[in-house]
Structure 1
Amino acid sequence: MPDSIFIDKNGNKLRCGYTTGSCAAVTAKAALMMLLSGEDIYNASIITPKGPVYNAEIIDIERCDSSVSCAVVKDGGDDPDITSGSKVYASVALAEESEIVIRGGKGVGVVTKPGLDQPIGEAAINSVPRKMIRENLEEVLGQYGRHNQGLEVTISVPDGEKLAEKTFNPKLGIVGGISILGTTGIVEPMSDQAILDTVRTEIRVKKAEGKEILLVAPGNYGLTFLKQEYGIDENDAVLCSNFVNDTVKIACEEGFSRILFVGHIGKLVKVAGGIGNTHSMYGDHRMEILSGIVDEFTQDLNSNNLRSKLMECVMTDEAVRIINEADLGEKVFPRMATKIKEVMETFSEGKIITEIIVFSNEYTELVSTPDAYAFLDYFRHE
């Protein structure tokens, strides 16, 4: 179907794939359908959060007295994905309680550090996949008139522990397997150049529309934050992915003189350290950068202890908590925002005035530069 095809800059058709979250949801749905109907099925489908329908072949069906287990083969499309070809299993059993409980089985990692999508001790099945699983199971239960039926769902990826060695999971404190991920349900194959071509095209469109200020966000979280917190139309923003330096330079080349950049601290703190591409392959150093800013405001022996705590953090949201508990947030985060602004303006060789809004967990504004709201009002009043 057209929605499952990506056209690269050379006109090549690249096939989209499906996330592990989509695999888990469609497999769980199939297992429940077989459990309630008593009949085996070999194909099942779900609507992904982005819209395309995922039609999956169901394999490895196994029945016990009170549960059904089955699997799909993960298809990453034309995107290089280490999980492509792996089997994602779901086992579904009826439960006495009315709750749908989702657990991780073999090959699904367990969270061992704070600041991740799931709390410590939970399976690394992220929020959107959990929502997909629940909604599809509730749909099936409704079809059978069993709205309050409780379920126990176990998601497994037999080769997940081995695959996880090739991911950042061990570093992030996710042990024993891979994470079940995906915010759109779709894996879109895109090269770096294709992303930059898209960024340039979007910036040119904004300029052609007469926009005087360019609104930029690294990803979908930024768009959601803008909409939920400020009521800004998501279409007003250009997505730059990890390409902060390139985006600023492109904006300069296309004639913009003002940018409002809105993003999560996990991305933007890297820019405070001079990093122009925020992908982890080009360098992380988030905690080192934050610790360096903290050092500007601490002179006593406790600073070493605070620095140690920060360096042990996996996620920046946890670092935010530690800095705030040390009563340094009102100094550290404005300084960080100033440094981000200065670095971005350096990327443009002083040709673009940049204002910054940084948010943290649960789409909470953390800090902004002094004129950020004046820039934001431009989009509110259009």
Structure 2
Amino acid sequence: MLERYIVKDGKKMRYGYTTGSCAAAAAKAAAMMALEGKKIEKVSIDTPKGWTLDLKIEEPSLGNRTAVCAVKKDGGDDPDNTDGILIEASCEILEVPGIEIKGGKGVGMVTKPGLQVPPGQPAINPIPRKMIYKEVLEVLPEGKGAVITISVPQGEEIAKKTFNPRLGIVGGISILGTSGIVEPMSEEAFKDSLALEISVAAEAGKERLILVPGNYGRDIAVDHYGLHKDMIIKTSNFVGFMLEKCVEHGIKQVLMIGHLGKFVKLAGGIFHTHSKVADGRIEILAANLALLGTKQQVIEELFQCVTTEAAMEIIDREGYNAVYDLLCNKAEQKAEQHVFKQLEIGVIMFSMDKKVIGLGNNAKRLVEEFKDE
């Protein structure tokens, strides 16, 4: 267990280490055991972050100039599907120089372009590969080489709970990590995993995408509009970031489908939609209702609402449903301004019961065009 901590939002949270660090440590330990013919209990490796890790070796076994062992993944206080699983490495010593790194059972195989690893290769990312190579090279005598095979016994099952199937990584998880260290609750890591889907879509030749914050938006795209699932990518709260990534990867048109509670913020120019970053939902609703001539007493009542769903009851009662299309149009304008008009963007808003309540002018046209995709 890594005893290093960071304070976030007033909470003391523990760092962990990546699957890449585990693979490098297991590979180094397996090489040492294969060379020395004896089991070891711990191994030390360096990480790109500059921290040295002293890691415990699990399930060591020896053969003739071969060895197998594992290191347990420690995600720290970061929510992680791979926390506690074993990352295994086998080593076969060769009598010629060189290190070959292979993927074994439970390590995914890349099948689509657009990732850091080319199709046909095991999903062991470049920095973990460098870490494995460096650590094994340190213990190999001159003139010797090694074949290192990384495996993850639980990898196939865990991969079903990750983005891998959508990214075209089949048969297991990816061996990841740029710093070797897991920073708890890392927003950047989550954003990078979301952006990978845009990269893969662009490499597949797509120029149109549907962005949704979550499952409800996906369901409306498929069930209500009959749009293709393979066009849909989730944004979570990172709407602005994902729009920027669409521009970066050459996407031309984007249709966004989201709940009023999230997308009303876009109409106010808020593109990170988590409430801890910015809210303004009721304020934006109230301002636009005032533009439509809503009475002051209705606006005052609106400010007593905690949720946009509660606000909708007042809006529906007063007959001001036109505000939803107005908000969608403003959200389209603000979103296009956010990316300096390098994308054509349509916005659709829905209620919690999955009823479409508003469409922007762009969205009305894009929905029909997307149906032909």
Q: Normalised by the shorter chain, which TM-score bucket?
A: 0.5 to 0.7
Question: In the alignment, which residue of structure 2 is the partner of 1:8?
Answer: 8
SS in 2 for 1:100: strand
Change (3 A) 1:275 1:14: same
Kindly indicate whether the alpha-carbon contact (under 8 Å) linking 2:96 and 2:144 is maintained by their aligned counterparts in 1.
yes
Residue 83 of structure 2 is aligned to residue 84 of structure 1: yes
Kindly indicate whether the alpha-carbon contact (under 8 Å) linking 2:56 and 2:71 is maintained by their aligned counterparts in 1.
yes
SS in 2 for 1:161: helix
SS in 1 for 2:146: strand
Q: Which amino acid aligns with 2:183?
A: E
Q: Which runs of 5+ in 1 are unaligned?
A: 196-218, 221-239, 243-262, 289-307, 315-331, 338-342, 359-382
Residue 163 of structure 2 is aligned to residue 168 of structure 1: yes
Question: In the alignment, which residue of structure 2 is the partner of 1:151?
Answer: 146
- State the distance in 1 between where 2:144 and 2:38 align: 19
Residue 39 of structure 2 is aligned to residue 37 of structure 1: no
- State the distance in 2 between where 1:83 and 1:264 align: 20
Given candidates 178, 181, 186, the residue that maps to 2:176 is 181
- State the distance in 2 between where 1:31 and 1:107 align: 18
Question: In the alignment, which residue of structure 1 is the partner of 2:16?
Answer: 17
- State the distance in 1 between where 2:73 and 2:166 align: 24
SS in 1 for 2:22: helix
Question: In the alignment, which residue of structure 2 is the partner of 1:303?
Answer: none
- State the distance in 1 between where 2:118 and 2:95 align: 25
Change (3 A) 1:57 1:110: same
Q: Which amino acid aligns with 1:347?
A: G
Question: In the alignment, which residue of structure 1 is the partner of 2:123?
Answer: 124
- State the distance in 2 between where 1:113 and 1:159 align: 23
- State the distance in 2 between where 1:181 and 1:59 align: 20
Residue 289 of structure 2 is aligned to residue 347 of structure 1: no
Change (3 A) 1:62 1:2: closer
Kindly indicate whether the alpha-carbon contact (under 8 Å) linking 1:164 and 1:178 is maintained by their aligned counterparts in 2.
yes
Q: Percent identity?
A: 46
Question: In the alignment, which residue of structure 2 is the partner of 1:366?
Answer: none
Residue 41 of structure 2 is aligned to residue 60 of structure 1: no
Residue 94 of structure 2 is aligned to residue 95 of structure 1: yes
User: What does 1:1-382 correspond to in 2, within 5 Å?
Assistant: 4-10=4-10, 12-141=11-140, 144=141, 146=142, 148-190=143-185, 241=191, 266=199, 333=250, 347=269
Q: Which amino acid aligns with 1:9?
A: D
Question: Aligned-pair distance for 1:7?
Answer: 0.8
- State the distance in 2 between where 1:334 and 1:168 align: 20
- State the distance in 2 between where 1:118 and 1:274 align: 25
Kindly indicate whether the alpha-carbon contact (under 8 Å) linking 2:210 and 2:231 is maintained by their aligned counterparts in 1.
no
- State the distance in 2 between where 1:19 and 1:8 align: 20
Question: Given the two structures, how large is their TM-score scaled by the length of structure 2?
Answer: 0.54
Deviations 1:163-222 (A, max 9, x none): 11111212222121111111111111127xxx6xxxxxxxxxxxxxxxxxxxxxxx59xx
Q: Which amino acid aligns with 2:51?
A: P
- State the distance in 1 between where 2:102 and 2:160 align: 21
Q: Which runs of 5+ in 2 are unaligned?
A: 223-227, 234-248, 255-264, 271-329, 343-373
Question: Aligned-pair distance for 1:102?
Answer: 0.6
Deviations 1:224-254 (A, max 9, x none): xxxxxxxxxxxxxxxx958xxxxxxxxxxxx
Change (3 A) 1:29 1:313: farther
Change (3 A) 1:171 1:275: closer
Question: Aligned-pair distance for 1:276?
Answer: 9.2
CA RMSD of aligned residues (A): 4.5
**Of the two, which has the highest radius of gyration?**
2
Question: Aligned-pair distance for 1:113?
Answer: 2.1
